[in-house]
Each structure stands twice: as C-alpha cells, then as structure tokens.
Structure 1
C-alpha cells in the first residue's frame, strides 16, 4: 500500500507526501534525550540503596563514580553499533541482526513486559509522591491518590507523544534544563555547607568507616542500585532513524551527556552527605525532601516541586524511546504488525505508544513497584552484556565492514569483565531476585515459538489478526511508514494475510 492517505492529493515541494519517521532530533535534543532519560527518579531513590549496600559514605561515592565510568564504556560501544547499524531499536535491533531473532526477541520481551513499564511506573509514582508531599506534609500520600495522579500524568504525556514528535522533544528539552537546575540547587546548597565547614562525614577516616564490612555481593547490589539511576544512557540508540546526521550527532551526544550526568550525580551525593548523616539518609523516604527541610527552611517546598518536574521529564523521555522499541520490534516481525504503523499526518507511532501506556498502567495497578528495581537493574545489565558481546562477535564475523566509529577492543572487554563479575556476585548474593529476572526473560521462548516461529497458523487465527489490525488502523488512522526497499523487514508471522502487511487505512 502507498504510504499516504488515499484520496489525499496534497503535495509537498512538488512530490508526493511521504509518511515516515522524521529526522527532527538535533544535537541539543539528542543530549536532552540521554540526560532526560538518565535523570529521572533514580538520583532521588537510589542513594539510599547504594549507601545501604556499600556500608560507608566513601564507598558509596566510589560506586557512583565507577558506575558513571562503566556507563561511559558501554555508551562508547553503543556509539560504534549505532553508526554501524543505523536502525532504531537500540540493543534489540543490534542483537537481532547479529545473533538472530530468538535472542533479540528475548531482549524485546523482557523490556516490553517488565523493564520499561516498571521503570515508567516507578518514575510516575515518584512524581506523584513528590507532588502530593506538600498536600500531605505529615503522612504518606494516600495509595489511590498517587495511582490516579500517576495514571493522569502517563495519559497526558502519551497524548503529547501521539500528537507531535516536535512537541515531545521540546518538552524533553525544557524539563531536562529544569531537572539540571533542581540538581544544581542541591549541589550549590551542599557546596555552601562544605565551605562553612560541614564536611565531617566526608573526611577520609569518617567516609570509609564501616559499621559492618560489606561483602562482595553487597557491593555488587550497590552497583545494581546505582545502575537504576544511570539506566537510560543507551536510549538515543532507540531513535537513531529520527536523529539528524546520526553518524556525527549520536557519538557527540553520548560523549557530552554521560560525563555530565556522572559529575552531577557525584556532586549531588556529596551535597546529601554534607547535610545528612548516613543514618538520617537511610531513614529518609524522600532524600531530596529531607535535604530541603534541613537546609531551605520556608523554601523547602521548592524541593518536591523540582523533583516532580524532573520525574515528569523522565516519564516523557521513557515513553518516547520505549515506544520506538515496540515500533522496531513490530517492524522486524516480532510483535503484531499494527505496532509498526504511524499516523498518516503526524508521523507518530500511536499504536506503540498506546501499548506502552497500557502496560505501565497495568504495572501501576498491580501494587508497589519499588521492590522491582533490582529485577529491572538485573535485566538491564543482562541486556547490556549481551549487546556488548554482540559487538565483539560482529567484529570477528565481519572484520572488513566499514565502521565510522571503532572503539579500542579494550573498551568492550573491560565492560564485559565488569559485567561478568557484577552479575555473578549479584546472582550469588540475591539468587531469588536474579533468578526471577532470568525466568521473566526465558518465558519469551514459548511466546516466540508460537507467535513468531510458527508461521502456518490456522486460517481463523490469521483472520483474527487481520480484523484486529484493520480496526486498529481505522481507530488510530495509521499506516506502515515508507521505507527503502533495502531496509524492508522480513515477513511477519503477526501480519495480516492477503497483501501480507496492510489493510486500507483511508
């Protein structure tokens, strides 16, 4: 089917109007996507977990610094993959092309089922808790109030992302600046405290004083907690096809954003420790609010509002990028073909956005999501390690392939060494948490066999898929985007029969 609405005779610059994802993400927006996705709720949640598992202020700060360095090593590898395989979808697209459909589908399955909906739910709950904190200053906000506000926020930002790519990226730009200003306020106040001599807990002897020496497994769990705060550093790779001049702007954005976030995170934790003892930080349910109440007096209300703005931008960024993962999965034939369609006029992947929105709301309704942070972090690191291993395998398999960026072989080797140690000790320390993460990923095998590998489905199943696809197209007013013949995806077992791809959308 043609990539334009039937009967629409409008022209653009003398040519037929194309329905395709538009390249509207420049260097600034690329940086704000990375920074905005990394800085969400993690820096306001993870300091407590990192300190609890590391056992001392000094080791906690080391964990934050090393966590940023590891993210930088991984992002350098992703920069090479992003310009060598310039397709949206990030880890999933690279692993699918290098290792094949099953491994790629398992990454896609775990991300769509648990990783991104849970992360979105955690960020949305953090947003609602901080927004409601001034309304309920002496108690925890009611359960239903936080859920309803979180749901309203997710629905609103889904509508924004469905309406316009440009509007979504502008919101991301504005709120990324806002969240950096919020963290900047914490850092400045903390530095003032230090300049006034309030740095007793940061001295060499005090900082590395252990009430209980942490085991290697506990240190690994501290890194998993920090990794939740750093998660999102690879999200620009999910929207590569919408980046202007990706071979230049993708690596630039990565090299600018990761060091900046690492510096901000480390200084923010130093600011926390300049005003709170380790016991106070561990006892706090909202670290930034406790910090504001101690140092800002009557202006402490600024803190929950600033955190709410930060998490609002984080929700927008996660919706923007995770919907592109669904879009890429459907385009490869691993998800229903309806999710690979975009709006005829707005050029936004509305079906994929609606699925991400619905999955997040389901997670919100299930109950408390903060206990799932370790599950999410484990699956995250598992995905990163498989992707970096794919880079090494691709180097060995196709050594003569042109790579606009080619990092030193030491970079992926160091990352994989850290990855093996971290996941090994984490599995030893928390076998239940890590085991559940593996089980979640492996449940994708029967789904892949039935939904993707099994192509000779009964006629009634194909008719049902075709009917659902047709109704979805009519409701969302979407069609397949126009792509070059060289980039066309393999036939999908989820696609309707007949033409193989498309029902009329007019």
Structure 2
C-alpha cells in the first residue's frame, strides 16, 4: 500500500535514492556528535583514575604537618572526602541539566555568556591543562627512572624525554579510539587501586602485630606543635588537592550511556571508594612510621615500602608511576572534550 496517490506521470524514486536523500538531509540538519560509549564501569574509572594520582602518595606529609596531630589529620581526610562528594553531586546536577561535553566551559558559557566561556576556555588551553599534564608526566618519568638511579637524581634530559614520550603515546591513543582510551583508564585505575589496597593490607597486618600506637585516641590527638586555625585550613587545602579531578566526568557527559542515571551513580560509587582508600592508606602509613618519620619523607609511599617490603620496595615507585600514567591519560581524555565543546 502507498501513503497516497502519486501525481500521474511522475516516477517514484528508488529505495537507494530515498536513502541517499534522507542521508543528505540528516547531514545538513544535524551537527557532529560524540558516540555514547562510556558505561558505568568506565565512568567510575574516569573519576577514580583522575582523583587518584600522585596526591595520596605525597600529600599525607602536608596534611599531617599542618593538622599538627595524627587524629586531626585523619579527620581532615574524612571531611574533605565528604566536601568532595557534596561538590560532585552539585556538579552532577549541572551535568544532567546541561548534558553537553565540555564541563566548565559549557556551564560558564550557558550561564554567564559567551565572553566568560571564551575566557575560561583559553585559560584552560594555554595555562591550566598543559602545565598540569606536564607536571604529572614529569612525575611519572621521575618514578619510572628512580629505581635505575637509586643513589642519585635521574638526569634531567632523560626525565623530559620520557615525559614527552608518555604524553605523545597517550595523545595518540586518545586520538585513535575512545574505547582504547577508556580501556587504558580502566586498567591503570585498577592498578593504582591494587597498589593502595596493598598498602592498606600491610597496615592491617601492622595493626594485628600491635603497631597502632599512633591510632590510640590518647596518642592520636597529641599535637607535635600548637594547633593553629590557619594551618588547619591549609591542611584542608592539601587534602582537597589529593581529591582533585572529581569533576572530570562532566567533561564527557555527552558520551555517557544514560547520563541521567550513570552520572550520579558513578559519583555515588567513586567518591566514597576514594575516601575509604585515602583514609585507610593514611592509617596504614602511621602504623609503620611515626609522625616525625612521615614528615621527614618527601615520598611517603616509597618510604613506607622501604620499611615494610624490603627487597620488594621497588613496587611502590612503580605503583606511583602507573598511577601518574593513568592520571595523564585521564587528563588528556577529559580535557579534550572541553575544547570539543566550543565547536
């Protein structure tokens, strides 16, 4: 049956001609869009992978130094996790209200106008993301080369070349395939979580051996310097640095499968998981090191490994390297959507 009578003398277009016409019309009427390829597991990997970078391996020193006691430092880690969760949920509301790729740029542009969005975009492209990715890549190369130079600092040229290779390799992966990039993120997120779980397990073993002096309430809140409200505020700032990256999933909202469900669900899963890991990793640190030993270390996880792992202590610098490698990938993957959002 036909939809209606055709005009006499006109030929009916063929099926292939109909398809070609429909394709042409669709191409003219629709804009470029990103495929929805990111599921819940990859969404959690993006959040966890971007939050857990080098921060948890180096920030405990700054938090403890400014908190002035072990007990208050642990409270700082818990409270900053709660604050991060609240901020992430507010950001999720923005993400489902304005379901566009680009995160900050899209929100600033839609709410405050084109000029504000333009300025936010160019600050990001010229300053924020290049410097952030360069620092993380240099941290990666430093920890990769550290086992090869145990008694001295790695050569500067070697650090820079390896950092450049890291950035170029991950840029190529992200250009080649979204699926490859998310797989890299999933694998390295799992790797860094396993490293932190290893630290937590060793901490539990230490507690079973009776090494929990600094966790007893009478000792945990014993200050090694006078409490100062300004320093405590700085401790919260140090803790917040380690939780940085919680907003990156909003940069890829357009690529999420069912973002109205998976965006808040990924936050509900990821932020409590990261908070749990951070708090218990810090508990593990103080089972093996006194506050004075922890403050004397520039790489807490490496010192922790040297004290408890013996000949296997090389696991810690490699774990930090894997963590930062995943951090570079996550930063490249999400920040590129910021620039896509301006097209």
TM-score normalised over the length of structure 2: 0.88
Q: Matched residues in 2 for 1:113 and 1:209: separation?
A: 45
Q: Corresponding residue for 2:143? A: 130
The change in CA–CA distance for 1:142 and 1:270 in structure 2 (over 3 A counts) is same
Residue 188 of structure 1: CA displacement? 0.4
Q: Distance in 1 between matches of 2:312 and 2:35?
A: 43
Q: For 1:277-296, what aligned pairs fall within 5 Å after superposition?
A: 277-296=290-309
- Normalized per residue, the structure richer in helix is 2
For the pair shown, which has the larger CA radius of gyration, 1 or 2?
Answer: 2
Cα distance change of structure 1 residues 269 and 164 upon mapping to structure 2, 3 Å threshold = same
CA distance in 1: counterparts of 2:59 and 2:125, whole angstroms? 23
Name the stretch that deviates more: 112-121 or 281-290: 112-121
Aligned to 1:473: none
Which consecutive unaligned segments of at least 5 residues does structure 2 have?
1-18
Match of 1:356 in 2: none
Aligned equivalents of 2:161, 2:218: Cα separation in 1: 47
Structure 2 equivalent of residue 249 of structure 1: 262
Aligned partner (choices 132, 142, 157) of residue 119 of structure 1: 132
User: Residues of 1 paired with 2:276 and 2:132: CA distance?
Assistant: 23
Alignment match, 1:39: 52
- The answer to whether residue 122 in structure 2 is matched with residue 103 in structure 1 is no
> What are structure 1's unaligned runs of at least 5 residues?
1-10, 332-506
1:263 aligns with 2:279: no
SS in 2 for 1:127: helix
Contact (CA 8 Å) 2:58, 2:301: kept in 1 or not?
no
Change in Cα spacing, 1:303 to 1:108, as seen in structure 2 (3 Å) is: same
Higher RCO (CA < 8 A, seq sep 6+)? 2
**Cα distance change of structure 1 residues 110 and 59 upon mapping to structure 2, 3 Å threshold:** farther
Q: Which residue of 1 aligns with 2:67?
A: 54
Q: Within the alignment, does 1:198 sit opposite 2:214 as a pair?
A: no
Q: CA deviation at 1:145?
A: 1.9
Q: 2:104, 2:338 within 8 Å by CA — same for their partners in 1?
A: no
Aligned equivalent of 2:329: 316
Query: Number of residues paired by the alignment?
Result: 319
TM-score (norm 1): 0.60
Q: How does 1:394-473 map to 2 (within 5 A)?
A: none
Residues 270-349 of structure 1 aligned to structure 2 (within 5 Å) = 270-328=283-341, 330-331=342-343
Distance 2:125 2:242 in 1: 19
Partner residue in 2 for 1:171 = 184
- Structure 2 residue corresponding to 1:212, chosen from 222, 225, 231: 225
Give 1:299 deviation, angstroms.
1.1
Deviations 1:454-480 (A, max 9, x none): xxxxxxxxxxxxxxxxxxxxxxxxxxx
Superimposed CA distance per residue, residues 121-167 of structure 1 (whole angstroms, 9 cap, x where no aligned partner): 23212211211111011222222222221111111101111111110
Alpha-carbon distance, 1:15 to partner: 5.4
Confirm or deny that 1:94 pairs with 2:107: yes
Aligned twin of 1:397: none
- Paired with 2:129 and 2:180, the residues of 1 have a C-alpha distance of 22
Note if 1:181 corresponds to 2:194: yes
Match of 1:84 in 2: 97
Instruction: After the TM superposition, list the runs of 4 or more consecutive aligned residues in structure 1 that deviate by more than 6 angstroms.
Output: none
Within the alignment, does 1:75 sit opposite 2:75 as a pair? no
| Distance in structure 1 (CA, Å) of the matches to 2:55 and 2:332 | 16
1:236 and 2:246 aligned = no
SS of residue matched to 1:58 = helix
DSSP-derived class of the 1:231 partner: coil
